[in-house]
Amino acid sequence: MAAIKVEDISHPPMDQLQGLDYCIHSSPSWVETIALGFQHYILALGTAVMIPSMLVPLMGGNDGDKVRVVQTLLFVEGINTLVQTLFGTRLPTVIGGSYAFMVPIMSIIHDPNLAMIEDPQLRFLSTMKAVQGALIVASSIQIILGFSQIWAICSRFFSPLGMVPVIALVGFGLFDRGFVLVGDCVEIGIPMLILFTVISQYLKNFHIRQQPILERFALLISTIVIWVYADLLTAVGAYKHRNQVTQHSCRTDRANLISSAPWIKIPYPLEWGAPTFNASHCFGTVAAVLVSLVESTAAYKAASRLASATPPPAHVLSRGIGWQGIGTLLNGMFGTLTGSTVSVENVGLLGSTRIGSRRVIQVSAGFMIFFSMLGKFGALFASIPFPIFAAVYCVLFGLVASVGLSFLQFTNMNSMRNLFITGVALFLGLSVPEYFREYTAKAGHGPSHTRAGWFNDFLNTIFFSSPTVALIIAVFLDNTLEYKNSARDRGMPWWARFRAFKEDGRNVEFYSLPFNLDRFFPPS
């Protein structure tokens, strides 16, 4: 038997992910671009509908209030996405709502001074204005960290090894929004999961006019098929005698979005009234801003790989965080009940379609703005049952997580040091937030339960986030545990080329500002 060659059993590390049809600065035809942009818009609806649907009823709001918040959130998402793709990191990322803000906003909702208001509509408006004030104040943290380049300095302590658990847990840490929610309506969730996987993977080589239509539009095709199927089940009365939770998850006529939505409505700042400001509300929201900053940093690095770009240089990453802070400020001004972050599911869709085009995402932002103003049409698409989205999340979140694991190729995984750091950060990144979630479910409050409510909100928000816990542990261990002689094992020689903008010529191609604005804001 012939001797086995090293090149036959190993694969050399690659700076850019191979196999994409279109990368960050290339685009398919305009017809395909528009259709792909609409597909990203459909996917973004899941979070945009879910967050207001959870929070507005707790605040005393009615169906009309919920629809207005959904419209406002989509409108601001569209603006933030356009701004980020033009002036931020310039990566093909959708900027959506963040679940990281749920803990502090729930704390604001249960504030005794607000909860005691008897009139539901007045309580809704008062709570909305309190949330707006907290978001406006907290956004300043991201703006300062981003535009001052402080986050760029912080990112110099990151290595490929340290980023592996952080990026991986941006996907894995969202497991509670995957099959857990598919199980709320297995009749449509499981068929959606199977159909989307079959079309996007097993039938991806089936071409129509030499185009991989099924691979590129698997989400759109499977969503339409299962949505029609769910509508038929609703029409024939399959859920008439089921419990309320099942009916709410499965039926296509329970969202009350279409009937409550106006035909035309243009969201505008301070629509709910002048924001109110409370110091204790702001501290918890500041923690959520820090969490969204960490999660977005990981998502930007994943998006750069799925768009076949180089890792974003430190100053580009910091610039994107600064504009994300502007986005959270807009969230507060308009009243969206959440701050801004990178939509992880849309990052995953880049890999599923193998199209990382920036223009596609900009078109999707146009759909968000357009349909948020045409209330009835936007509400029609927003009435898609959430288990359909949850089924897709099972695939897309896993895809993003695997991108994080792919950074291991730049490190030495025969090192016990690296194995220790990776394993501990991954395990605790999953285990610590799960402890916080279970404790809260049983006790009705988080593990941090002192008399200082602002302190409780801050700690509980931080440790509810898997990527944030992983960042704290991985970066600390990576920079303190035998770090002086471990640069090569950590992957630093590869990573160093992408820290500064001018170190690699491809950075100019991917991350330069449009309209020759680099003359006024020279890259570092």
Q: Counting Cβ atoms within 10 Å, is residue 236 exposed (0-12), middle (13-18) or buried (19+)?
A: exposed
Residue 420: predicted pLDDT? 96
Percentage of residues of the chain with pLDDT beyond 70 = 95
The confidence band for 524, taking pLDDT boundaries of 50, 70 and 90, is low
141-145, 297-301, 492-496: segment of lowest average pLDDT: 492-496
Q: Does residue 436 sit within a domain?
A: no
Residue pLDDT, tens place only, 63-82: 889 989 999 999 999 999 99
State the Cα–Cα distance between residues 153 and 246, nearest whole angstrom.
Answer: 49
Lookup result for tokens 């509509």: 121
Residue pLDDT, tens place only, 256-296: 677 777 888 889 999 999 999 998 888 889 999 999 999 99
Residue 499: predicted pLDDT? 73
State which residues form the domain around 247.
17-407
Question: How many other CB atoms are there within 10 angstroms of residue 110's CB atom?
Answer: 14
Is the pLDDT at 498 greater than 70, yes or no?
yes
Span 168-191, average pLDDT: 91
Residue 69: predicted pLDDT? 93
Rg of the chain (C-alpha set): 23
The confidence band for 6, taking pLDDT boundaries of 50, 70 and 90, is low
156-160, 280-284, 450-454: segment of lowest average pLDDT: 450-454
Q: Does residue 323 sit within a domain?
A: yes
Number of independent structural domains in the chain: 1
Residue 219: predicted pLDDT? 96
Looking at the DSSP bridge assignments, the partners of residue 341 are: 96
In three-state secondary structure terms, 97 is strand
In three-state secondary structure terms, 313 is coil
Span 466-473, average pLDDT: 96
**Pairwise pLDDT comparison (415 vs 382), residue with the higher score:** 415
Residue pLDDT, tens place only, 383-392: 888 999 999 9
Q: Does residue 127 sit within a domain?
A: yes
Tokens matching residue 238: 């399959």
Q: How far apart are the first and last CA of the chain?
A: 55
Q: Does residue 496 sit within a domain?
A: no
In three-state secondary structure terms, 35 is helix
The confidence band for 3, taking pLDDT boundaries of 50, 70 and 90, is low
Span 328-342, average pLDDT: 95
- Helix runs in 450-518, H state only: 453-463, 466-480, 487-490, 492-496, 506-511
Span 8-29, average pLDDT: 82
Inter-residue contact 318 to 521 (CB < 8 Å): no
State the Cα–Cα distance between residues 105 and 87, nearest whole angstrom.
Answer: 29
Tokens matching residue 220: 């759109």
Residues belonging to the chain: 524
State the Cα–Cα distance between residues 233 and 230, nearest whole angstrom.
Answer: 5
Residue 324: predicted pLDDT? 96
In three-state secondary structure terms, 173 is coil
Q: Does residue 70 sit within a domain?
A: yes
84-88, 312-316, 494-498: segment of lowest average pLDDT: 494-498
Q: Does residue 360 sit within a domain?
A: yes
The confidence band for 501, taking pLDDT boundaries of 50, 70 and 90, is low
The confidence band for 188, taking pLDDT boundaries of 50, 70 and 90, is very high
**Pairwise pLDDT comparison (241 vs 202), residue with the higher score:** 202
63-77, 102-116, 201-215, 393-407: segment of lowest average pLDDT: 201-215
Residue 390: predicted pLDDT? 94
Q: Does residue 140 sit within a domain?
A: yes
Q: Does residue 512 sit within a domain?
A: no
Mean pLDDT of the chain: 90
Question: How many other CB atoms are there within 10 angstroms of residue 45's CB atom?
Answer: 23
285-289, 345-349, 497-501: segment of lowest average pLDDT: 497-501
The CA–CA distances, whole Å, from 114 to 275, 398, 460 equal 14, 39, 21
In three-state secondary structure terms, 112 is helix
- Nearest to 346, CA basis, from 101, 41, 49: 41
Residue 7: predicted pLDDT? 62
- Nearest to 407, CA basis, from 347, 470, 476, 495: 495
